[in-house]
Structure 1
Amino acid sequence: MGFKYFQDKIPNGNKIPHPCKPNYVWQGVGHKNSMGGGERNAFGLAFAANGKVWDAKLCNADSDNDGKTNGVELGDPNCEWTEGEAPESTKDISHPGVCEPWDSAECLAHNQWEFCDSELFSCPAMDATDDVRNVSVRFPPTQVPALETNYYCITVELPEDGDYHLIATTPIINNTYVMHHMLLFGCKEGDLTGENDARKRFAKPTLCGMDTVCRNIISTWTLGLAGECFDKRAAFRIGKNGYKYAVMRFWIQGISQGIFHVSKPTVHNWCISYMHWNNPELRSDYTDSSGLTLFYTPNKRQYDAGYFLVGQRYLKIEGGLEIHTATARASSKCTRHLMPDPIYILGALLHMHYLGKAGYLDHYRDGNKVGTFGRDDVFSYDSPVNHMHEPPKEFLPGDEIFISCTFDSRSRKETTYYGDDTSAEMCYGFFQYYPVNDNLTAIVQYKNVDICAPASDKKVIQGCNVRGFIFSPSGLTDFSTNVLSKCSVTGDTCKPECKELVKEARLNDRCMGNNEVYATIKGLLRENQDVQRVWKGFESCDNELEKEKKTSSASILSTSISLFSCATCFIILIT
C-alpha cells in the first residue's frame, strides 16, 4: 500500500528526484509508479522484507544494483540516520530503487519497466478539439478526522449555458497523504425530485454509503492515474441536454463540516462526486481540498457515452487462503431486459480491494466465449488497469459477461465479507460504452440471483424500496448489525434490548415493520445462510410480544368492563 508517511521512515524520503524528469520528485519511493501505489520496485521490496525500518542492513545494501548503497543514494552514507533526525546530506540524492544512469546499457538491463513517460497525461482530443473549456470541482480546506472509513457524497453543479461533451478529467490532489480515489456520478432528472432529490440530500458532505441517488458514472480517478481521456467516438453529455447536476462521492476516514465549490460562478448543473481519504495513521491534523478538473467542449462527438458495472454482491473469504475465487455473470436474461439495441464497449476495468490478486472479464455469446474485455494476471488495487479497446467491441442484447475475482487472504485470520471499506472486499467490472442507455447502470448478482432491474424500477412494496433496503448500507446492513448486537442469534432467548428494538422496528420501519415486506425480503435472501441468524434474532421475541399483546388486550377489555360497571353504578346512584 503506497502510503506517503513511509517517506518519513527513510532519510530524504520526500526529496527523491525522478531519474529522467528534472525537478520532479518520485513520491512513491518504493513503487514502480512514481506517484505511489501498485507494484514495488527493488528498494520497495527490500524495505518491506526488512520490516519497513531503516537500519544498517538496508542502508548498506545496493537494492537497484547501480554500485551505490542505499545509504549513499539517500544521503546517509555512514548509516547513522534515525527517524525524525536530519540526514547527513540533502544534496546529490538519487533513487535507491532505480539503477542510474537509467539509460546506460547496464541499467537498462535492471530497470525492466517504463517510467520516464508512463505517468504523463496525454489526451489528443483536447488539442484536436477547438473551444475546450474547463471547470474545477473540489472542496475547500477540510479537516480529515481519524475515523473509520465512510463514503460521503456532495452535489455539485455543472455548466448549463450550452450543450457540451465532457472529454477529459484530471485530478486536483491537495493532500497526497490521504487522497486515494474519486468518482463522479451524473444526475438524471428523476434523481432531482421528491424526498431523494440529490441537490437537497447532498447539499453538504453527507454519509451516503453506496446509495448515491445518481447512479450514472461519468468520471473516475484513483491513485496512480494522471487523468482520464474519453474516446474520439463518444463522451459524456453535460449541460442543457445532458447532466445538469452530479454527485461527487468520496471515501474518507471521516469528514468535518465544509462544502464543495465550483470555480466558475456561471455553473448551475449538478453531478455527484466520490472521494476516498485514506488515513491509515488515524491522524486528526490532516486537511484536504482535492477534486477534479473537468474539460468540456461544444464540439461534440458522434455518440453519448455511459458506464455500467457487473459484479458479485455476496463475498465470504475465509482467512489464510492463498486462493479464493468469486464469480458473477451479467446473464443473457439481464442484457436482453436492459438493452434494446447493441452497444460498443470502449474500455473495462476490474475492481477489488487489497486482497485482490487476479481476475478477468470474459465475453460470451450463445454460451460460447468470444473474447475478453480485460484480464489482470497481477491485480493491484492502487494501480488499476483500464483495458481500452480499439476498435470498440460490439456487445449484443443476450450477450453475457463473466467476471472472475481471485483473492489471497493469507494476511488475515478473520473472514472477509463484501463491503465498502478497504478491509472488506468487492468484485466488480466497470465498463465504458456507447451509445448511452439510461437503464444500463448495473447488472449484479447476489450469489446466483440476478439483480438487473433498471434504475427506475424501485420495486416498492407497501412503501418499502426492497432493492434499496437490501443493497444499501443504511438498510439491511445497519439492520443486521443492530439485531446481531442486541438479539440472540439462536432465537431461543428474548433479550430486553432486543424486544425494544423489535417494537421500534415494527412501529416505524416501513420495511422490517411490515409483515408482507419482511416475508418478501426473507424469501429473496433464502439462499444466504449468514443472514438466517438475523431473522432468528429478530423473531426471538415474537412469543413474548404476542403474550404482551394478549395481556394488553385482556387488560383493555377488563378496564372497559370496569368503566362500564362504574358508569352503571353512577347512573343508579343519581336516580
Structure 2
Amino acid sequence: MVLFCKRFTVLLVAWVLPATLSFPQFQSLVPNGNKVPHPCSEGAWSAVGHVNPEGGHLRNAFGNDFAALGMVWSETICQADSDGDGRTNGEELGDPNCTWSQGQALTAPATGHPGVCEPMDDERCKGKNDWVVCNKQTELECDVLGDSETQFFDVKFPKRKVPAQETTYTCIIVEVPEVEDHHMVANKPLIDNEKVVHHLLVYGCGGKVRRKLNTPYECGMEASAACRDLIGVWGFGSKGECMHPDAGFRLGKNGYTHIAVQMHWTNKHQHSDYYDGSGIRIFYTKTLRLHDAGTLWLGQMFFEIPPETPETNVYGVCTSECTSKIFTENLTIFGATNHMHMLGIRGKVEHYRSGERVGFITNDSHYTYDSPVQHSFDVPVVVRPGDELRTTCTFNSEGVDKSTFFGKGSHDEMCFVFVKYYPKQKARIQQCLSFKELSMCSSFPETADLFPGGFKGCNIAQFTSITNPATLSMVFQIQTKCRPDICTQECKNTIRKLRQHPCLKEDVWEYIKFFLMEEKTQSNLGLDIGKLLVLYSVCDLQLGKEIGHNEITTEASTKRTTATLNTDTIRNATSPETSQPASCPKCPPTHLSVCNSASRTPTPFRALVAVLVSVVDLFRT
C-alpha cells in the first residue's frame, strides 16, 4: 500500500552525510579551524563557515567567501573582512600576515570569528548578526527553584551504548514518586552525552500503562498509546522550562500517576563507541497552583520541501471550527516554542478572531534549531472558542539536493509549535494539527461526536478499531481475496468495492496509513498492519489504469506489474550502490516501510513488493 518511503530522508543519510556534516575535514583548511571562539560562550564554533555552530547546509558570510574562492586559504581570503567588523579574516583566525599554509602549526590563537561581526553590540555590527542567537543563560532560572517547598525527582536512562545509526528514539516510563496531588512547576535536562542527545519530551500517561516500568525501549514519535499528553519539552540549546506562577502540570492520584520520557539520539557519524545515560529533572510542589496546565500541539504533519530552494513555507491551521468545538471555554496561553530541524529559518503562529489578526503567539524572524526561543508572556494571551491559530514554518533547502519530508529523523523536518496553556480541562484534546489540507481535530475518539460529518465522512476512531465489525469484514475480505505477489481478478474486484468507503479515499486514507505505520502495530488479534497494507495495494496499478491514469511508462508497467518478474528485472529496479528501489526518492512520507526493508535486505520478494507499491501515489493524485 503505501508507506514504503515514509522515512526516505533517513535512508538518504549515507549519501548526504559527507556533504553536509563532515565539517572536521574543512577545519584543517583554515588556520585554527578547530579553535574558532564562539561569540556567545567559552567554547568553540566547530563549523566556522556555517550558520549552525555544529555544521549544516547554510553558510555564514565567511563560509560564502571561502566557498567562492575554491575552499583554499589564500592571501585573498586572508585579507578579506567577511563579517565587516574592521578586522581581516587572517587577523581573527591568528594569521595576520597571511603566511599560514595547510598543515603548518600556529603559535597565535584565533581571536575572533571571521563570520560574526564583533563586538556584537558595536554600532558597525548592527543588522549583521541577526542570524546569531545567543543564550547567555548557563543554568535554569525560575523563581520557584528557590522556594523551600519545591522538590524534585530525576528520570534518567541507564547508561548504555547508543546504536550506530543516525536516528534512534528511546523511551522509559516511570511512576511518579508522590501519591498525593502535586504540580510540576519546572524541568531541566540532565545531559550525559551532548554529542548525541537531540531532544527530550515528557509525556503524562492518561491511560493504563502496560509497559514494564523503569525499562528503556525503542519507540516512535509517540512514547506509548497510554502516554500522549505532552508536559515537558527540552531541545538543544534550552536550559529547561519554568511554568507560569498560576499553573502547573498535575501529577498524583488526580493527575498523571505515570510519566514517559522520550529521548531522541542523533548519532550523525554512526559511531559505535558512544554511550549515554541522559535524563530530566522534574521540579514539583505540593502547594497546588490555581490551574492545571496543558500543552497544545499546532502545526503540519505532511509536507515536502523541494531541494535547492531558499524559502518554502509550510502552513498548518487550527481552524475556527476546531477551536469552537474542542475548546469548551477560553484558554490562557502562557508560553510557546517553535520546533523545526536544521532547515528551519522562521516560524510564527498568528492569532485570528472573526477573520482579523489580533496578534502573534510566536514570531521568530530568525529561527535556529540549536537556539530555540521559549516565548513567555507576562500578560498571557487569551484564545476563545472560534478563534483561529495559523502556523507558518519557513525552510531554506539551499545546498540540499534531495527533497526533504516531514519525519522524525534529524534530517527529516518538522513543523510544530508547543503551546502551554491553562486550564487544561477546557480543551478536549491536546492537538490541533493539520495533515495536508485536513484539520485533524475531528479524528480523535474524544471529538468524533462533535463532528457529525466525521473526517470527510470517515469516523476514523471507529474505522481503525479492530473490534469494529465493518473493519473486521474488510480485513477478512482483503486477506482471503488478495495475494502479495500478484493482482488477481477477485482481489481487484474486492479492492474496487472497498475503495468506495469514505475512509479509503484520497487524503483521509493517506492520513490513516501514516498513523497506522507510525504505530508499527501488530494488534492484539495478531494482525500485521504492514502485510495487510501490502495486500491492499497489490492492484493499485491496474485500478489506476481503469480510472484513466496513464502516467506510467511502458517500461515501468512491464517491470512492476508482471507477476513473473525474474531476479535480473528486480535487480534493475534497485540502485546498484544502495540496493534502494530506484523509484523511492520521490515517495512521500506516508509510504510503507517495505522500501526500508528492501534497502537493508534486497531479497527478490522484498524488491518485488517495493517496485509494485512505489507507484501507488501516481494513481492517487
TM-score, normalised with respect to structure 2: 0.63
2: CA distance, partners of 1:362 / 1:33: 27
Shift of 1:373: 1.0
Distance 1:28 1:465 in 2: 54
- Equivalent position of 1:296 in the other structure: 284
Which residues of structure 1 form unaligned runs of 5+?
Answer: 252-276, 470-493, 504-511, 544-575
Which of 416, 433, 436 in structure 1 is aligned with 2:424? 436
Amino acid at match of 2:538: F
Query: Cα distance 1:179–1:528, how it changes in 2: closer, same or farther (>3 A)?
Result: closer
- Say whether the 8 Å CA contact 2:23–2:47 is kept in structure 1: no
Distance verdict in 2 for CA 1:521–1:415, change over 3 Å: farther
Correspondent of 1:183 among 198, 201, 214: 201
Among 244, 267, 285, the alignment partner of 1:231 is 244
SS at match of 1:25: coil
* Structure richer in strand, relative to its length: 1
**Closer, same or farther in 2 for the Cα pair 1:498/1:403, shift >3 Å?**
farther
- Residue 363 of structure 1 pairs with residue 363 of structure 2: no
Secondary structure in structure 2 of the residue aligned to 1:459 = helix
Q: CA deviation at 1:225?
A: 1.6
> Given the alignment of the two structures, is residue 137 of structure 1 paired with residue 125 of structure 2, yes or no?
no
Please name the residue that 2:311 is paired with: 323
Distance 1:322 1:107 in 2: 24
Task: Report the Cα offset of residue 183 of structure 1.
Answer: 1.2
- Which of 340, 352, 365 is residue 352 of structure 1 equivalent to? 340
Answer yes or no: is 1:79 the counterpart of 2:61.
no
Partner deviation per Cα, 1:39-87 (whole Å, 9 max, x = no partner): 97766666676777777766666656777766666567752453xx9x5
Unmatched segments (≥5 aa) in structure 2: 1-19, 448-459, 472-481, 514-532, 544-621
Secondary structure of the residue aligned to 2:420 is strand
Q: 1:416 aligns with which of 392, 404, 417?
A: 404
Aligned ranges 1:99-498 → 2 under 5 Å? 118-188=136-206, 190-192=207-209, 197-199=210-212, 203-210=215-222, 212-213=224-225, 214-251=227-264, 277-437=265-425, 439-453=428-442, 454=444, 456=446, 459-461=461-463, 463-464=465-466, 497=485
Specify the alignment match of 1:539 in structure 2: 539
In the alignment, is the contact (CA less than 8 A) between 2:52 and 2:370 conserved in 1? no
TM superposition shift of 1:370:
1.5
Q: What count of residue pairs does the alignment treat as equivalent?
A: 472
C-alpha distance 50-295 of structure 1, shift in aligned 2 (>3 A) = farther
Q: Which amino acid aligns with 1:225?
A: S
Q: What residue identity is the alignment partner of 2:242?
A: C
Greater C-alpha radius of gyration: 1
* Counterpart-to-counterpart distance in 2, 1:439 and 1:57: 62
Change (3 A) 1:20 1:284: closer
Q: CA deviation at 1:166?
A: 1.9
Secondary structure at 2:100 match in 1 = coil
CA deviation vs aligned residue, 1:349-396 (integer Å, no higher than 9, x gap): 223333333332111122222211112223323322222222001111
Give, in whole Å, the separation in 2 of the partners of 1:107 and 1:394.
Answer: 38
For the aligned residue pairs, the C-alpha RMSD in angstroms reads: 4.6
Greater relative contact order (Cα 8 A, min sep 6): structure 1 or 2?
Answer: 2
Q: CA deviation at 1:203?
A: 3.7
Q: CA offset at residue 342 of structure 1?
A: 1.0
Q: How many angstroms does 1:415 deviate by?
A: 3.3
TM-score in terms of structure 1 length: 0.67
Q: Which residue of the other structure, out of 111, 114, 126, is the alignment partner of 1:94?
A: 111
What's the offset of the Cα at 1:156? 3.0
140 and 394 in structure 1: CA distance in 2 versus 1, 3 angstrom threshold: same
Distance 1:184 1:54, change over 3 A: farther
Indicate the percent of aligned positions where both proteins have the same amino acid: 34
Counterpart residue identity of residue 437, structure 2: N
User: What is the alpha-carbon distance in structure 2 between the residues aligned to residue 233 and residue 37 of structure 1?
Assistant: 40
Distance 1:117 1:540 in 2: 52
Partners of 2:62 and 2:82 within 8 A in 1: yes
Residue of structure 2 equivalent to 1:564:
none
Q: Distance in 2 between matches of 1:135 and 1:368?
A: 45
